[in-house]
Structure 1
Amino acid sequence: MDPIAITAVVTAIAASISQSAEPEELPLLAAIFTQLGDTLATITVQKDFLENKK
């Protein structure tokens, strides 16, 4: 997918979530999505590391 399109989709999802969630829920949702991204990055880096070690 085009990087600009991905950015637009993510922005639209964030706007939608922010309109439907309660204001006090937004920090928790932000933390959850940050952890999700960090965990996916960690898994990817570890897989790459193990594959390059062979």
Structure 2
Amino acid sequence: MLGWALTFFIVAVIAGVLGFGGIASATAGIAQILFVIFLVLFAATLLRHLFRA
């Protein structure tokens, strides 16, 4: 999932450089959502690992 967030981030940067504002904001929004989901899943996995040990 982090790979998808990175992919959408790169697409957003390229679109921003080329001047496609709508595309850049859409891909940046998707990248932010995927990054937050990744962080939540990482925190949940980390907490589960700590409480099992």
- Give the aligned partner of residue 31 of structure 2: 33
When the two structures are aligned, how many residues end up with a matched partner?
A: 42
Output the amino acid matched with 2:17: Q
Q: Report the structure number with the largest CA radius of gyration.
A: 1
Q: Report the RMSD for the aligned CA atoms in angstroms.
A: 2.0
- Give the aligned partner of residue 41 of structure 2: 43
- Give the aligned partner of residue 5 of structure 1: none
What is the CA distance between 1:16 and its match in structure 2?
Answer: 2.2
Q: Is the 8 A contact 2:16 2:24 kept in 1?
A: yes
Gaps of 5+ in 2: 1-9
Output the CA distance in 2 between the equivalents of 1:24 and 1:47.
35
Gaps of 5+ in 1: 1-12
What is the CA distance between 1:36 and its match in structure 2?
Answer: 1.0
Runs of 4+ aligned structure 1 residues displaced above 6 Å come to none
Cα shift readout 1:6-54 (whole Å, capped 9, x = no counterpart): xxxxxxx354232357321222111100011111111110000111111
Aligned-residue sequence identity (percent) comes to 12
